[in-house]
Amino acid sequence: MINKNSAVAILGAGAWGKALTTLARNNVDDVRLFSRRGCQTLAQTVEGADIILSAVSIKGVRDIVSQLKSLSIPPQTIFVTATKGLDPETTCTPSQIWQESFPNHPVVVLCGPNLSKEITQELPAATVVASKIESAGESVQLVFNSTRFRVYTNSDPLGVELGGTLKNVMAIAAGVCDGLQLGTNAKAALLTRGLIEMVRIGVDWGAKPETFYGLSGLGDILATCNSPLSRNYQVGYQLGQGKTLVEILSHLQETAEGVNTAKVLVQRAKQQNISMPITQEVYRLLKAEITPRQALLDLMTRDIKPEVDS
């Protein structure tokens, strides 16, 4: 069982990796943070760790996984993934990559409405740790839970992970909506229909529908789609104001995973024959095929239909 003397290795010293390190240090003395630019090697960082948490952005996940595979990690070590992205080659989620590479290890997803800037300011927040292996989720809960960070367990890792990942596309859409100053009614309609899109593809993927109405789906929509602290929202907002994606990304210091996720999602939706009109418009806008106003018109002039899928 996890206690004060356990060892936790956090991989990726970006905004989220640093915030999670501070949270873990409330409960565990030995918390190490690995960066590609740091002086400690990956092997030194993970040596004897009970839990290895990856907070690297999706483009670094395969690389870190393959580096870890070349080390001998004991089978009881728990892997935790906090990445909110999709693999462009396979459309796999990060937890699927981790589980496929380490089939005998417990894998836990950590995901929720967790804007790192607010967490760094010690404002209260809640999150979800999800695993098929109950005891692994409970161990990770003990590492991160505190009076300012309430951690819930969940048994649907895929749903929790997709909730946090797919909402990044909706955060871009929400930013566009606000950048165009379309008003509160438009935003409510956009996000409600956006959540329905997330559930539609998520259920097809194998996730439970109810998971999307929890912290990592609806909760993360409420946080990121309404906050200028969200990088994905910022991307959308500036697109709505007429900037190009290249211009926006050249000034954005940190990762906006929704840009890549929109592309992967469109690919997966096409393969699976699933209707995702908002995601499709976000993708076309990101590719500069259409303007924000054209995206709005496309959505408003779709064929009329019942609200609930039959």
Ligand X SMILES: O=C(CO)COP(=O)(O)O
Ligand Y SMILES: NC(=O)C1=CN([C@@H]2O[C@H](COP(=O)(O)OP(=O)(O)OC[C@H]3O[C@@H](n4cnc5c(N)ncnc54)[C@H](OP(=O)(O)O)[C@@H]3O)[C@@H](O)[C@H]2O)C=CC1
Residue list for the binding site for substrate: 84, 231-232
Which tokens hold the place of 123?
């404002």
Q: Where are the beta strands (DSSP E) in the chain?
A: 7-11, 30-34, 51-54, 78-81, 107-111, 125-130, 149-154
Tell me how many residues contact ligand X (CB under 6 A).
14
Region label for 122, one of left (φ > 0), alpha (ψ between -120 and 50) or beta (otherwise)? left
Q: Binding pattern to ligand X, positions 106-145, x when CB under 6 A?
A: -------xxx------------------------------
Integer-rounded Cα Rg, in Å, for the chain is 19
Site for ligand X in 247-286 (CB under 6 A): 257
| Residue 217 within binding range of ligand X, rule CB under 6 A | no
Contact 10, 49 (CB under 8 A): no
List 18, 59, 69, 167, catalytic entry = 167
Q: Which is nearer to ligand Y, 115 or 276 (CB)?
A: 115
| Residue 32 within binding range of ligand X, rule CB under 6 A | no
167 is catalytic: yes
Instruction: Spell out the long-range contacts of 242-251 with Cβ–Cβ below 8 A and sequence spacing 24 or more.
Output: 242/292, 244/288, 245/286, 245/288
Segment (H or E) for 143: helix 134-144
Q: Return the residue matching tokens 């501070």.
A: 22
| Residue 54 within binding range of ligand X, rule CB under 6 A | no
Site for ligand Y in 256-285 (CB under 6 A): 257
Which tokens hold the place of 147?
């009076």
Q: How far is the CB of 285 from ligand X (least distance, A)?
A: 16
| Residue 219 within binding range of ligand Y, rule CB under 6 A | no
Residues in the site for ligand X, rule: CB under 6 A? 84, 113-115, 168, 171, 220, 223-224, 230-233, 257
**Active-site positions?**
167
